[in-house]
Amino acid sequence: MLQFKELTKQYGNFTALDRFTVDLESGIYALLGPNGAGKSTMMNILVGLIAPTNGCIYYDGTDISKMDDKFRDIIGYMPQYPGFYPNFTAMDLMRYMAQMKGIPRKDAEKRCLKLLESVNLTEKKDAKIGSFSGGMRQRLGLAQALINDPKILILDEPTAGLDPKERVRFRNMVRRLSDQITVIFCTHIVSDIETIAKEILLIHHGKLLKKAAIPALVEEMQGKVWEVLPDQDGIEHLLDEYPRSSLVSRNMQTAVRIVNDTKPHPDAVSCKPLLEDVYLYMFGDDAS
């Protein structure tokens, strides 16, 4: 179990993370929040890039700062837009990361090949990374994060740049892993975690707002999601007046979907809420 206890990070007068407290067991946990919410700060502290100002993180009851390299041995981290050495081949990088993560040489070669196969990069294993597309880099980023069979996998926007087929493949891969390990999945793409996340962590201004399963969160939005079919001028007016709104297509017409506590328009009809509505409702103007 991973426990965050009153985790705080301050940069001068600015509080990036404010007494963040949560317990995570095995499964996929999605971290949702707008830009600047504190998601990256939380992940950077977890992987050891920065130290917290206060509070600590426990893994199975032990402070990870005391575990040091033993904790780093069990984590896999895929940053957003991972950068690689352009003159290295994919296989070079995997071997290098195997070395960095202390994988014995006799096991490393086999494991590297297996992981490259799982992310569909076998044909490109001897190609220079400089020639890779964005999607290929993301897949390679995932492969290197898994090289040490981590118990905690931290993924920062892992599906950015992947086409729909690759995103489905990625989701399936992560879902298969999540039975035995803890996956912290940071994303803006709600559809990526809708079907796989065990629980959602909503974070804003460094604070944890909510931690709940998707059905529970969606249930809370009952009676707060509306759709209305206005004329063209009405659309612009509604979008301006209600920032938590979006345009949707209904029967070949454009409707405005509004998240609001009360009925926003006489013609508005209550709808079944979605996870995206939860995001809009929680993060309000920041999300719009």
Partner 1 sequence: MIYELKKLFQRKELWIVLGLTLLAILLLVLRDRSSLADAGSNSQKTAAYYDYSPEEALPLIERELEQLGSSASDINSSHYHDWRVLYHMRDLAKDFISANKNDPNVIRQMYNEMNTADSDFARRDLAHAIKLYNRVRNYKLADASSMEYFLLLLEQGGYFHYLYLLVLCTMLSPLFSAEYESGMYQILFSSKKGKAGLFRKKICGGLLCMVLFALIYTAFTFLLSWFWHGMNIRMLSAALQSSVLFRNCPYALTFLDYALLVFAMRAVIGAFVLALTALVSCFCKKNVTVFAISGITTAIPILIAKLFENVPAVQTVLNRLGIMQLSYLSNYLTEYNTVNVFGFPIGQFLLSVLCTCLLTAFLLSAAYAFWTRDTRHRRI
The site for partner 1 (CB under 8 A) is made up of: 47-54, 56, 65, 68-69, 72-73, 75, 77-79, 81-88, 92, 95-97, 99-102, 141, 144, 148
The least distance separating partner 1 from the CB of residue 163, rounded to whole angstroms, comes to 22
Q: How far is the CB of 93 from partner 1 (least distance, A)?
A: 9
Whichever of 129 and 268 has its CB closer to partner 1, that residue is: 129
Taking the least distance from each CB to partner 1, the nearer of 156 and 199 is: 156
> Considering the complex, what minimum distance in angstroms separates the CB of residue 268 from partner 1?
45
Closer residue to partner 1 in complex, CB, 91/214: 91
Helix (H), strand (E), coil (C) string for the chain: CEEEEEEEEEECCEEEEEEEEEEECCEEEEEECCCCCCHHHHHHHHHCCCCCCEEEEEECCEEHHHHCHHHHCCEEEECCCCCCCCCCEHHHHHHHHHHHCCCCHHHHHHHHHHHHHHCCCHHHCCCEHHHCCHHHHHHHHHHHHCCCCCCEEEEECCCCCCCHHHHHHHHHHHHHHCCCCEEEEECCCHHHHHCCCCEEEEEECCEEEEEECHHHHHHHCCCCEEEECCCHHHHHHHHHHCCCEEEEEECCEEEEEEECCCCCCCCCEECCCCHHHHHHHHHHHHHC
Q: Choose between 97 and 214: whose C-beta lies nearer to partner 1.
A: 97
Which one, 35 or 87, has the nearer CB to partner 1? 87
Q: How far is the CB of 101 from partner 1 (least distance, A)?
A: 5
**In the complex, minimum distance from the CB of residue 130 to partner 1, in angstroms, rounded to a whole number:** 11
Least distance (Å) from partner 1 to the CB of residue 170?
A: 18
